[in-house]
Amino acid sequence: MTRPAPAYFPPPDSGLDIRYVDADLLVVDKPSGLLSVPGRGAGMDDNLASRVQARYPEALTVHRLDMDTSGLLVMARNAEVHRALGRLFELRQVEKEYIAVVAGRVAGSERSIALPLIADWPNRPRQMVDFVQGKPALTHLEVLSYDAGDDTTRVRLRPETGRSHQLRVHLQSIGHPILGDDLYAPRQILAQAPRLLLHAALLAFRHPVSGEWLSVRCEPPF
């Protein structure tokens, strides 16, 4: 059975946090709790895309972040650049880095998580590991620090694939769910944070018009 959608209370619109803008594209920092694009149902039309389009009416969505994930999103300012950026994501030519805080002490300093994922249809929108029908998914993890007082680890994540909920499921699957994760963390882990502690901290790619390497970084608010 599909889980009922939780009540939607988007954060107040205090203005866009534009991290980069030119005539062809823009990169904006999305706050946690805000949909990337309109959701289904009444009252879910406040989203990052609509807020950006109020200022840049021509802006086109290229990719998305989960509602509870904060961080960097790129949007195109014309159809040609929209196609080119979409192609970069499709070919995995966009570097992405996320920062997360997870439960427990992650062993070692670096590791890769290769677990195939598929939609958990009876429990949508959850995803799950499935070694038979799942699509390949690969995440590289680097330990940044360990907090013994909270028994939590801050990690840097570099996904090579972009499956739905990939980082959240991969971390839960190795026994280190992300704090504040209302889909995959046990109740006590969920309660350790007021939000999902996952942030898209870096986007880097070849600019589709200038050809120059564009790298935008945004540190997490946690």
Whole-number Å distance between alpha carbons of 184 and 169: 7
pLDDT tens-digit map of 49-97:
999 999 999 999 999 999 999 999 999 999 999 999 999 999 999 999 9
Q: Are the beta carbons of 134 and 149 closer than 8 angstroms?
A: no
Judge whether 66 counts as a catalytic residue. yes
13 falls within a domain: no
Mean pLDDT of 139-162: 97
CATH of the domain at 112: 3.30.2350.10
pLDDT tens-digit map of 12-31:
999 999 999 999 999 999 99
Out of 13, 17, 66, 182, the active site residue is 66
Write out the residue range of the structural domain in which residue 125 sits. Answer: 18-217
1 falls within a domain: no
Mean pLDDT of 193-204: 98
Domain total for the chain?
1
